[in-house]
Structures are given as structure tokens and as C-alpha cells.
Amino acid sequence: MKRKAIYLMIFMMLMPFLMVSAQNRSSKLTPDKRLEEVFSKQELSDMLTNQPEKISYYNYFLENAYYISDIAKGPVVKITNVSLRNNFSVFFKEDVNAISPKTFNYLKYNFKIDNNHFISYSLENGKYLVFYPKNETEAKYNSINTK
């Protein structure tokens, strides 16, 4: 019983700090610069104001939805068949050797990402851009953001 009282007292003392920390974290949310290539400044501003969880979601997905591998996983699609999101007549033109989760903006393109299966896109350098199943990436995102 004495332990419960001590734990409760510690929790009550830490609660204001935890609340301020959570509030500061949400107020410091900034869109990844790559989102500006896909959304207008007004759209990003609206999302920050009305749906900040979307910004957090997109920021996470930009770096965690795929990986580069020597081995394909799931169906394989030629990356040269992937068009820009807003211009179906312009196809993938990136330096495949420079693709990195820190810089590559896959949201600019019409990649098909399956909910339940991996999909691999063959790159000209013999490697694969492998997308995780969307459900798997969402589950990882939710496990991080619901703690």
C-alpha cells in the first residue's frame, strides 16, 4: 500500500512535465521539405493546423515505407514504368545510386504500394526499391505514435 502511494505521488509530480513535453512535441511538428514537392504551402499549412497527425504520418512514411536491397521481395516492377504523380507522361528519372530514405521523395511518383504484400521496383543499377506492405508500415507508425 505504501508503494502505491509513493508511485502515485511520483506520477503526480511528473505529470505536469510530461504534459508540457507532449505539448511541445506537437507544437514543434514541421513538415519534411520533400512534402513541399507534393503539396502546396496552403495544403501543408491547413494540415498543420487541422490534421497535424497527417504531417507526422507523411514524415514517417517518407523514411520508413521502403528500403534498397540486392534481393527483390514480392512482385517486381520496372521502375522506368513509374510516372510522376501529377504528370502521367513523365516517368521515373532519378539517380538510382543516390536514392536514400533521407532524400528520396517517393510521394512524387505513382508507386503502387500493396496493403498486404511487398512490392519491388527494379533499379537500373541492379538493386531493388522494396516497399513494405502498407499495413506493416502503418502498424509500426501507430506503435511509435500511440505510446
Read off the pLDDT of residues 67-124 as tens digits, 9 standing for 90 and up: 999 999 999 999 999 999 988 889 998 999 999 999 999 999 999 999 999 999 999 9
Please give the mean pLDDT across all residues of the chain.
Answer: 86
Give the pLDDT band of residue 4 (cuts 50, 70, 90): low
| Burial degree of 77 (CB within 10 A; 0-12, 13-18, 19+) | middle
- Identify the three-state secondary structure at position 114: coil
Arithmetic mean of pLDDT, 23-47: 85
Collapsing DSSP to helix, strand or coil, 41 comes out as helix
For residue 112, which phi and psi values (nearest 5 degrees)? -90, 120
Look at residue 28 and tell me whether its pLDDT is greater than 90: no
pLDDT value at residue 42: 97
CA 70 to chain centre: 22
142 near 102, Cβ under 8 Å?
no
